[in-house]
Every structure is written in C-alpha cells, then in structure tokens.
Amino acid sequence: MKTVSIIGGGLAGLSLGASLAKRQVPVKVYEAGTYPRHRVCGEFISGIDPETLTNLGIATELSDAQKHTSGEWYRQGRKILSMELPVAALAISRWTLDQRLSQRVEELGGQVITGERTEVNHNAGIVLAHGRPSEKSTWLGLKCHVRHFPLTSGLEMHLGNNGYIGLTPIEDGRVNLCGLFAIDEECRGKGSQRLISYLKAGGHLELVERLKRADIDETSFTGVSALKLGWQPHQPGTLVLGDAGFIIPPFTGNGMSMAFESAAIAAEPLSAWSRGKASWEDTAAGVMRQQHKAFRRRLHAALALQKLLLSSRGQDFFELLSRSHLLPFKSLLSLVR
C-alpha cells in the first residue's frame, strides 16, 4: 500500500490521519509546530454531525467537550438576540483537542512528525492541510483564555464597529475569547492589552470592564493577521483540505466542522488510491469536486452575511429585524451549514 503524506497537523490533517490509520492506510502527518499549543480559534464547533466524528475515529476525543445550545448576540454591550441552536455546539480548547487528535493518529498506527515545516509540494500522495495561507490581509484574529469570567449562555457574540468577538466556556472553568478585527495601527499593546485596545476601539466598553475583573491567561494569547477569507487558490491536481482550501468567516463557528467534513470526504478516495485502485489525478480531482459541492453554498452565504454584520447599516437592519421578531435565524443558520 502507498503512503499518504499530510502537510499540516491541524484539525483537517489530524482527523484525516486518524481516519486513514483506522483503515490501515500508511499515513504520515507533518506538523510545523509541536503539541500542545494555542491557536487563534473561537473553539466553538457548530454544525458537525456526530456520525462524521465517529466515522473519522475521533468521537472519543470530543466526548467531554462542553455542549452549548444557547447563545446571545450583543451590539456594543446591548443585547439584540437570544438564539437556540438545533444541535449542540461542542466547545473545547485547541490546546487540548489538537494534542488528543495527534495521540489518536499514533494510537491507530499513523505517524505524526512535529517541529518540521515541510516544503509544500504537489506530488502524488501529498495532501495539503497546512491551514490559512501566510499572505497578510486587512484582518487580525486575536484570542486568549480567561478565568473567573461568568457567562449566562454557551456563546456571547459581540458586534462592534471594527469587527466582532465571540466568548464561549471551555474546559477547566476557562472562557475562550476570540475576535476578528479590521487591522488598526492605532490599536497597540502587548498580549491581551492589544485585544483590549481593539475592544475599546470597537465600542465594547462593558466587555472591557468585565475583563478587568477576570484572570487573563497571558500564555494563551495568540494573534494572526493572515486571513484571506473564501476559496484559496491552488494548482490543478493538488488535494487541499480545510483552511488551506477554503476559509469561512469565523462568526459561523463552522470552520472546524468544515475541516472535519473535508477529511471525511477525502478518507475513502485516498484509501482507494493507497490500495492502487485509483490514479492520483482522479482521486485529487474527485475530492476537490466533492468539497466544492459540499461547501460552495455556505461559503457564499457566510461571506455575504459577514459583510452585513460588519457594516453599521447592516447591524441596524439585523437589530431591527431581531427586535421585531422578524429575524429568520434558523433559515440563516441553515444557509451557513
């Protein structure tokens, strides 16, 4: 059997690694960093079908994740919407999850090679799961964990005039704060001070006051400015999964689910290729086609909705609909799933 080499040990790469190892396919996952490590991520997994996790062989790794079914939306401290999710979202830190998944790949007989930034190449048998491209964008993602920060629901989503931030309870009494902001050179500071500076500029004064009473874990603070949303360019004949192929706006809480779903789409065709039952060209083209079909609608819808949520007029409209009980929340949610 031929070996599948996966470049990138995030959620797409590790869940594919586990799924292939479960099928006895020789698999190597190359990860530039080491585990555990913090990632810029809202740590709120919404829209994943539990069966997908079981089929990938990683359901146990998520079994103790916090389950959230309710959330609240705020606009600069003013509550504008209470939401109920039809299926519980799973909340768990990337610190814990990615480490567990890498251990799972090894338990199942796969190899995880850490601390090696592999050259991205397009040869047969190489799967690209290296996450967001490194080119700079106009967006900045910032995240940190805090303790002693009471929340009244499983998600607080705060809209501001420079982006948005989501807060969700995760394990060990921690709350994850993660925001997407338009880059502003005036917002400076080290670690969480930078986040606070963006929150002040966005008009989240009530949130800033609450943060003053909380314990911020500075070691968990991370930031990223390479965030080109939407489909990512790739060479024909390459097999690309997760954020390396497509980046959905974070407010949907669906990017991690898409990483798992893309691994689920690729597992069986890659297993057939490893057994010599399909050419690489057909395998790669088939997987890319299936991902396009599965993700096209939600990506377009999410990009359009994000535009609305980021503009002041769009937020006025969103708030007005919500206050008049005319916001079709369930229909909007289904568009981005």
Which residues bind to ligand FAD, rule: CB under 6 A? 7-13, 30-33, 39-45, 117-118, 120, 129-132, 141, 166, 178, 180, 227, 242-244, 250, 253-257, 259
For ligand FAD, the closer of residues 256 and 288 by Cβ is 256
Task: Spell out the residues 6+ positions from residue 86 whose beta carbon is closer than 8 angstroms to its own.
Answer: 330, 333
Other residues' Cβ atoms within 10 Å of the Cβ of residue 11? 29
Provide the 3-class DSSP secondary structure of residue 277: coil
Place of tokens 């969700």: 168
**Least spacing, CB of residue 258 vs ligand FAD, in Å:** 6
For ligand FAD, the closer of residues 51 and 316 by Cβ is 51
Element containing residue 82 per DSSP (H, E): strand 78-91
For ligand FAD, the closer of residues 275 and 297 by Cβ is 297
Q: Which of 297, 317, 321 is nearest to 307 (CA)?
A: 317
**Least spacing, CB of residue 16 vs ligand FAD, in Å:** 9
**Least spacing, CB of residue 61 vs ligand FAD, in Å:** 14
**Least spacing, CB of residue 320 vs ligand FAD, in Å:** 26
For ligand FAD, the closer of residues 55 and 225 by Cβ is 225
Helix 312-323 / helix 280-310 crossing angle, nearest 10 deg: 80
Nearest-5° angle of CA 317, CA 321, CA 325?
Answer: 170
Amino acid of residue 229 = L
Residue whose C-beta lies closest to ligand FAD: 10
Other residues' Cβ atoms within 10 Å of the Cβ of residue 169? 20
For ligand FAD, the closer of residues 106 and 317 by Cβ is 106
For ligand FAD, the closer of residues 24 and 270 by Cβ is 270
What's the chain's Rg over C-alpha atoms? 20
User: How many CA within 13 A on the CB side of residue 2?
Assistant: 17
**Least spacing, CB of residue 195 vs ligand FAD, in Å:** 11
**Least spacing, CB of residue 198 vs ligand FAD, in Å:** 12
